[in-house]
Amino acid sequence: MPAYQYQCRSCNESMSVTRSISDPDPGYSCNTCNLPMTRVYSIGAITFNGSGFYRTDKGN
């Protein structure tokens, strides 16, 4: 299951929540100031497997 990051815009408190992709976002509140937290989007890692990519074929 993926982990989702949330951050409070007021006090910058952050938390990580593990939940299924199919579960709706319930909306989380900050434990410090009790304001709504916003989801922080991050870039995933890219892996080049197989042939046809410069990174995997450049030594051939």
Task: Give the whole-angstrom CA distance, residue 48 versus residue 58.
Answer: 13
Residue 18: the pLDDT is: 94
Please determine, for residue 37, whether its predicted confidence score (pLDDT) is greater than 80: yes
Check whether 9 has a pLDDT greater than 80.
yes
Least confident of 18-22, 28-32, 53-57: 53-57
Residue 50 binned pLDDT confidence (cut-offs 50, 70, 90): confident
Contact present, 36 and 27 (Cβ < 8 Å): yes
pLDDT the model gives residue 58: 73
Between CA 22 and CA 30 the distance in angstroms is 23
Q: How confident is the model at residue 47 (pLDDT cuts 50, 70, 90)?
A: confident
